[in-house]
Amino acid sequence: MTNNCEDFLKKGKAFKFGDDISTDHIAPGRLFHLRNDLEEFSKHVLEDADPDFASKVQKGDFIVAGKNFGLGSSREHAPQIIKIAGVGAVIAKSFARIFYRNAINIGLLAIECNTDEIEAQDELELDIKKGILKDLTKNIELKITPLPDVMIRLLADGGLVEHLNKNGDFKLV
């Protein structure tokens, strides 16, 4: 998998979802037999919320959602297949705690922000360092919840596992 936080400025289109998008919406349980073939599983990402999402999303595009994104079971496959599908970041009002931890652990950028003003297909630019999300379509700036430096370093390394592989322990200074 590629590092999802190689740079701290990302651009892409918004794919808008509502509140309470569950891990079942993200990684449909009926396809759980694909968990050993994540590339194939990623072709079905979010198909229960939007059947066309996987075929339309382009590398670097954003999932934009409401509250409680990733609720439900603790499937690590949910953030993994989002990352494999090429999503640049998931931007939501809030995340289910386990999904958020799993996303950071595998190096998927998960950003909290009020997403009310963003519409589907808006062009977005995310500047992680400055803590700003620009909606280029509407010419507005939205403040994001800043990520702690430790999380930025984990994401820059590709997630917790990659960080540990790279550094041999949990030194983040």
For residue 6, the model assigns a pLDDT of 46
Range of the domain at 92: 9-146
Provide the domain count of the chain: 1
Residue 27, sorted as left (phi over 0), alpha (psi -120 to 50) or beta, turns out to be beta
**Global pTM?**
0.90
For residue 46, the model assigns a pLDDT of 97
Q: How far apart, in whole angstroms, are the C-alpha atoms of residue 67 and residue 91?
A: 10
Phi, psi of 51 (to 5 degrees): -55, -20
Q: What is the pLDDT along the chain (173 residues), one digit of tens a residue?
A: 334 444 678 999 999 999 999 999 999 989 989 989 999 999 999 999 999 999 999 999 999 999 999 999 877 899 999 999 999 999 999 999 999 999 999 999 999 999 999 999 999 999 988 889 999 999 999 999 888 888 888 888 888 888 888 887 655 54
Give a yes or no: residue 63 inside a domain: yes
Give a yes or no: residue 161 inside a domain: no
Give a yes or no: residue 136 inside a domain: yes
**Contact between residue 5 and residue 152 where contact means Cβ atoms under 8 Å apart:** yes
Give a yes or no: residue 17 inside a domain: yes
**Kind and range of the H or E run holding 160:** helix 160-167
Give a yes or no: residue 29 inside a domain: yes
**Contact between residue 18 and residue 46 where contact means Cβ atoms under 8 Å apart:** no
For residue 24, the model assigns a pLDDT of 93
Give a yes or no: residue 75 inside a domain: yes
- Distances from the Cα of 3 to the Cαs of 54, 108, 115, in angstroms? 20, 8, 25
For residue 139, the model assigns a pLDDT of 98
Give a yes or no: residue 34 inside a domain: yes
CATH classification of the domain holding 23: 3.20.19.10
For residue 170, the model assigns a pLDDT of 59
Residue 159, sorted as left (phi over 0), alpha (psi -120 to 50) or beta, turns out to be left
Q: Say what angle helices 149-156 and 97-106 make with each other, to 10 degrees.
A: 50
Tokens of 51: 């059947």
Rg (CA), the chain: 15
For residue 4, the model assigns a pLDDT of 40
Give a yes or no: residue 120 inside a domain: yes
- Distances from the Cα of 39 to the Cαs of 19, 95, 133, in angstroms? 26, 24, 29
Closest listed residue to residue 79, CA positions, set 28, 23, 30:
23
10 Å CB burial of residue 14 (0-12, 13-18, 19+) is buried
